[in-house]
């Protein structure tokens, strides 16, 4: 089978100085597998420097988005979120190798890398297209900040704490005015992240929907709601000066009363590549321990 790829961008981000040697070992293994598949590895410059891969060229992101037709991300889900946002406008598919904790979207285990990655580089994989949000912060009608989110856009209180007052509008119609710790607008991918911890529903990635989830609402009647992904959602802050809009909980913009966070579906998509035979429900069973009976330890299959 002819490999469907030619140039492979490689990204990683060490969590601590202490994990650098282990990360370097796996990165070198990935580089060898890419070369054995007769493909060209292109190590991202920040990765090369952070992991101290001497003897390898480092390539800036501006070059990678022009040359690469595949990206391999070694890290946790947070690392994958950041890289996915950067590459989303360039239609570069991503393979995630889990060097973090949960690994919902970096779903290849380190022990599986030699066999699984070789097969995927040869074209044996499952492709999974995911949606993104794009949002902006408006103040007096002027756009102050724009960003994308693979998981979610969150409006929450800042370091001072306290309850937010806000109004949510969907396609211009008022849904509710609420007081809560915050509110989450999540994609199906993000429905298993922060939104899930706030008792939101899980949306299958193939669904054309969004989830709006209040965080600790100051009323017993307010509940999460699933929305069509064709809508425009506006969250207008009414009080509390220490508040922020977060994009995947990685980028943020400070808010003040009267500011509006406007979010909608992005026209771009993120394509995740999984090992052949990948099944979303198996991922849920493993990551959320759906296969564990009451009283059994999490380690049992």
Please list the active-site residues: 77
- If you ran DSSP here, which 8-state letter would residue 39 be given? -
Of 76, 126, 121, 83, the C-alpha closest to 273 is 126
How far apart, in whole angstroms, are the C-alpha atoms of residue 205 and residue 182? 24
User: Are 7 and 39 contacting, i.e. CB atoms less than 8 angstroms apart?
Assistant: yes
Of 18, 83, 76, 9, the C-alpha closest to 48 is 9
Residues 6+ apart with CB under 8 A from 224: 195, 198, 199, 200, 201, 211, 212, 213, 214
How far apart, in whole angstroms, are the C-alpha atoms of residue 212 and residue 168? 10
How far apart, in whole angstroms, are the C-alpha atoms of residue 254 and residue 209? 27
How far apart, in whole angstroms, are the C-alpha atoms of residue 287 and residue 2? 34
Most distant CA pair in the chain, distance: 60
């Amino acid at each position: 089978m002819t490999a469907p790829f030619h140039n492979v961008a490689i990204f990683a981000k060490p969590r601590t100085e202490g994990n650098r040697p282990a990360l370097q070992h796996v990165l070198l293994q990935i580089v060898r597998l890419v070369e054995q598949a007769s493909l060209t590895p292109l190590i991202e410059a920040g990765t090369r420097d952070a992991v101290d891969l001497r003897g390898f060229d480092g390539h800036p992101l501006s070059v990678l988005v022009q040359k690469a037709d595949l990206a391999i991300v070694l890290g946790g889900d947070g690392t994958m979120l950041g890289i996915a946002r950067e590459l989303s406008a360039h239609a570069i598919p991503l393979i995630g190798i889990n060097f973090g904790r949960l690994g919902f979207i970096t779903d290849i285990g380190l022990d599986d890398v030699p066999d699984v990655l070789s097969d995927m580089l040869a074209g044996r994989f499952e492709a999974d297209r995911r949606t993104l949000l794009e949002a902006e912060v408006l103040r007096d009608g002027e756009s102050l900040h724009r960003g994308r989110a693979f998981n979610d856009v969150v409006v929450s209180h800042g370091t001072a704490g306290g309850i937010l007052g806000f109004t949510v509008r969907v396609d211009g119609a008022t849904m509710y005015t609420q007081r809560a710790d915050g509110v989450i607008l999540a994609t199906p991918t993000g429905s298993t992240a922060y939104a899930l911890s706030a008792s939101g529903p899980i949306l299958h990635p193939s669904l054309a929907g969004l989830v709006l989830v209040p965080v600790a609402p100051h009323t017993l009647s307010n509940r999460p709601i699933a929305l069509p992904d064709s809508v425009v959602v506006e969250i207008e802050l009414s009080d509390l000066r220490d508040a922020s809009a977060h994009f995947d909980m990685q980028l943020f913009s400070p808010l003040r009363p009267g500011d509006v966070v406007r979010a909608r579906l992005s026209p771009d998509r993120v394509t995740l590549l999984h090992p052949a035979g990948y099944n979303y429900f198996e991922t849920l069973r493993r990551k959320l321990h759906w296969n564990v009976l009451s009283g059994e330890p999490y380690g049992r299959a």
